[in-house]
Structure 1
Amino acid sequence: MQNTMLKKARVAFAIILGFIALIGLKFAFGDKAFVLITSFLVIVMVSAGIAKKYYAQAIILCGGISLLIITALFFPDVAITKVTSGSKLLDIFIEIKALFSDSIAKLGLIIMVIAGFSRYMNDIGASQKLVEICITPLKKINAKYVLLGTCYILMQILALFISSPSGLALLMLTTLYPVLRSIGCSKAAVASVIASGICIDYGPSASGSVLISEITGYDLFSFFVDKQIPIVAILFVVIGVSHMIMQAYWDKKEGEHHKQPQEDEQVMASASHIPGYYALLPVVPMIILFTFSSLLEEYLPTFLRFKIDVVSAIILSFFIAFILDSLRAFDLKKSTDKVLGLFDQMGQSFITVVSILLCAQVLVAGIIKIGFIDTLFSFIPSEEHYAILMIVLFSLLIFLGSVIMGTATVFNAFAPLSAEVARGAGISVFKMLVPLHFAASLGRSFSPISGVILAVSGFIGVTPFEIIKRNSVQLALAYVLMMILSIYLL
């Protein structure tokens, strides 16, 4: 009991001492030093908390609230929210409510609906059918290393419709893995290719893409076509060819190329009972968005020039899939039960992805309100080479954060802040955010605690470090090439 009371007294004393230190810092060194040091301390404490595996959302939210409280106390002239309540401290929580409301209504809803649709496609067997049809022509390729590289490219294309790295990997393990093993590919080589299947997040269904579209106000599908495809098309080919070379190198070095193909215990999951047209269902949202996008508007007759947003397109696609599945099953009870997965996944995506975005918005609001961005960039020259250096440094931080945490959601947490940094430095927001988005997913593929790597290594029976070793050259080459392409193409 006494120890607990002593600890509480120490914490209270530390808080009081810290508050006195802040006052002394402001009056001794001025506002700029106060803003920079205080903001850096909060960011470091947030980063340290995440690294120690504290609940990231709580740490980020507390960091944002702390900065807003400091702003209210030390800079009373700064408006915390648009319409004040009359109390600066109450304004903090009114602003948080406004941020939450806006984010959930727009970005949060998009992410949840995409996640739910992806789960529904899996539950009705449409994702499995799409994979099965795509794999069939690959069986005719005899050159095993060419097949490995081709399979990587196929997986990245499938990522447009199956956005979960772990979900796509598990589908590949039950469909593609037996095919590759049967033609003599080593376990480690197959594991490496499958684990890197979504090493680059992209496309309208990726949460990072949705976030960039929301931050920039750029149409989501147009962003995918204009800003992502020119880069990822080159990266996919380069990584695919690198897989052909590096997997052959490692097999030769480890003596795997001398081993005879052996029958594997895993049995290919069959989707033969699912109609072929089910393979089109995951693609329907892409077809709708592409057909009614600005890219094709001038080619459509006037009566077909509709406007449709991502959420509406996905809900329409779900309704089409539900009707088809109900007619096929001719069992309304069974068909409606499958919809449970859609809403369950929407809830899960709120817990894992949307919540961290909401908390990140509060942290960004605190950083902006206290004046950190304006103060920081008052010291930074505006020449082009400084801008490029800043992009590289930020991408490295995001990359390392993804490696440490094993997830690409690091980008979601810091994207709003990075966008403000880019605007303050006069850099194109796309030039800043696109390489950060790609760096986060590449970092996840380098992490031994990444969910997809752990799933693949456990299923096949190789260590996560063996997968990372075999993929290190490909991913490092992709990172460097991605940075070059982003800087010069965006």
Structure 2
Amino acid sequence: MLILIGIAILIVTIILLIKRQDTRTVLLFSGLSMCLLAADPMAAMNSFAQKMVSEGLIQAILSAIGFATVMKFTGCDRHLVRLLSVPLRRVGLLLIPGTILLTTFVQLALPSAAGAAAAAGITMIPLQLAAGIHPVMAGASVLAGTFGASLLNPGSPHMALVAKIVGGDVMTIIASRAMTVVWLGLLIMVGMTLTALLRREHRGYHSTLEHDIQADHQPLNLLAALMPLLPVTLLMLGAFGGIAWLKMGVPQAVMWGILATLFVTRTHPGKAIPAFFDGMGKAYSDVFGIIICAGVFVAGLNAIGLIAAAKTLLIDYPQAARFGGTIGPFLMAIVIGSGDAAAYAFNEAITPHAADFGMDGTSLGTAAAFASYLGRTASPLSAAAIVVAGMVGVSPLDLVKRTAPVMLIGLVLLIVLI
């Protein structure tokens, strides 16, 4: 009975989100309602408290959006757009696959999809807007780049879990799945580019920033124009440039970027630093508030038994494991907004029994992980979608309307590849 009520609440939640009701309110009360019906209200309260201090997400998201606020305050974003607006108009459409590729590389260094999206977005979103790409498409291309390249990171907990289950070597498993990332990446780049063409969102957009620039007759400051690129440059050099002392996280890269900006623009620290923290505060309200409420919603799904029911269904019907091992985690990730949670749930419950389904444990486990990440990239509840939506000022649902069809095609390719 509780399962049926949970499904009804889930459907109502989706309808309210489609009708553009306040996302935080809908998720918070949906999750709380399910916890109350399951006689476990503290599950919602505990999730609320825990999500408030999710250190990894807070550090990456708040610092990245705070940095974007400083770039706007100091005018560095205007200088960057002025510098690149003319050549970018010639590149135009190629910026979309280029953004996906850059975000993919950033995610190799930053396993957090939200952190990678924030780090890549502060650079690539203004560049795309300057090239005339619509904000929703600019954000969707950043989100699409978080499709799962982090699974090739040796520190990936999912590959480590699969290795533990099958008794294999992590690096061997990662090497065997490198081409999966390549094929998925190529498909997603082509798919998102075609999406932009079909929606006619690849050119013709004129941002308010661009109008302000046209009315601004101050000379171009080349160093100021380079400041928005500094954090992501430091992150890339630290991860792939072989420069050990440059290995750092998003907050550290952002702080170096702010210090350099203060020096280059000669902005008074007493004005720029408050702007940075104002941006962080707004990010916590607009972006992290949704993440907190999404956590409560997932707690409700757990409390009422929907997630456990999905796992049981796959165990009871092992003949569907080949498709269930991809479609199941994909759908679960869309519903709960977490690729990690979906991958963990499946691999801990199902993958140890792969031999009973006549499947290889490595293939099943890694396929579930990739499918979960594709599903997360198609979910309006994912932290990455929420972060990017906040950066471009649109609804997460608008972003996934563009990414979801491409991720679904990626899922079909994944089924073929396994």
* TM-score range relative to shorter protein: 0.5 to 0.7
**Residues 124-143 of structure 1 aligned to structure 2 (within 5 Å):** 124-138=74-88
Matched with 2:312 is 378
TM-score of the superposed pair, with normalisation by structure 2: 0.62
Could you report, residue by residue, the CA deviation over 1:51-85 in whole angstroms, capped at 9, with x for unpaired residues?
A: 44443323322332333334447xxxxxxxxxxxx
What is the CA distance between 1:101 and its match in structure 2? 4.3
Matched with 1:67 is 34
**Residues 203-242 of structure 1 aligned to structure 2 (within 5 Å):** 231-232=184-185, 234-237=187-190, 239-240=192-193
Matched with 1:163 is 121
Q: Does 1:366 align with 2:294?
A: no
**Residues 9-408 of structure 1 aligned to structure 2 (within 5 Å):** 34-72=1-39, 91-92=42-43, 95-96=46-47, 98-103=49-54, 105-138=55-88, 147-153=91-97, 163=121, 168=125, 175-177=130-132, 196-202=137-143, 231-232=184-185, 234-237=187-190, 239-240=192-193, 269=214, 273-293=219-239, 299=242, 304=244, 308-311=248-251, 313-314=252-253, 317-318=254-255, 320-330=256-266, 332=268, 335-380=269-314, 381-382=317-318, 383-390=321-328, 393=331, 398=334
Aligned mates of 2:405, 2:8 — CA distance in 1: 34
Matched with 2:170 is none
Aligned mates of 1:271, 1:486 — CA distance in 2: 52
Task: Check conservation: 1:149, 1:241, Cα contact below 8 A.
Answer: no
Of all paired residues, the percent bearing the same amino acid is 16
Give the 3 Å change call, closer, same or farther, for CA 292–47 of structure 1 in structure 2. Answer: same
Matched with 1:83 is none
3-state DSSP class of the match of 1:292? Answer: helix
Unpaired runs of at least 5, structure 2: 104-116, 160-173, 204-209, 352-364, 381-388
Could you report, residue by residue, the CA deviation over 1:316-359 in whole angstroms, capped at 9, with x for unpaired residues?
A: x33x3444444445452xx5323333222222222222112112
Could you report, residue by residue, the CA deviation over 1:136-156 in whole angstroms, capped at 9, with x for unpaired residues?
A: 4456x5xxxxx5433544666
Matched with 1:84 is none
Q: What is the one-letter code of the residue matched to 1:359?
A: C
3-state DSSP class of the match of 2:139? Answer: coil
TM-score of the superposed pair, with normalisation by structure 1: 0.54
Aligned mates of 1:235, 1:421 — CA distance in 2: 26
Q: Does 1:482 align with 2:416?
A: no
Aligned mates of 1:102, 1:454 — CA distance in 2: 24
Aligned mates of 1:114, 1:489 — CA distance in 2: 36
Q: What is the one-letter code of the residue matched to 2:281?
A: G
Aligned mates of 1:58, 1:476 — CA distance in 2: 24
Task: Check conservation: 1:116, 1:343, Cα contact below 8 A.
Answer: yes
3-state DSSP class of the match of 2:288? Answer: helix
Q: What is the one-letter code of the residue matched to 1:99?
A: Q
Aligned mates of 1:228, 1:244 — CA distance in 2: 24
Q: CA RMSD in A?
A: 5.2
Q: What is the one-letter code of the residue matched to 1:163?
A: G
Aligned mates of 2:390, 2:377 — CA distance in 1: 18
Task: Check conservation: 2:31, 2:297, Cα contact below 8 A.
Answer: yes
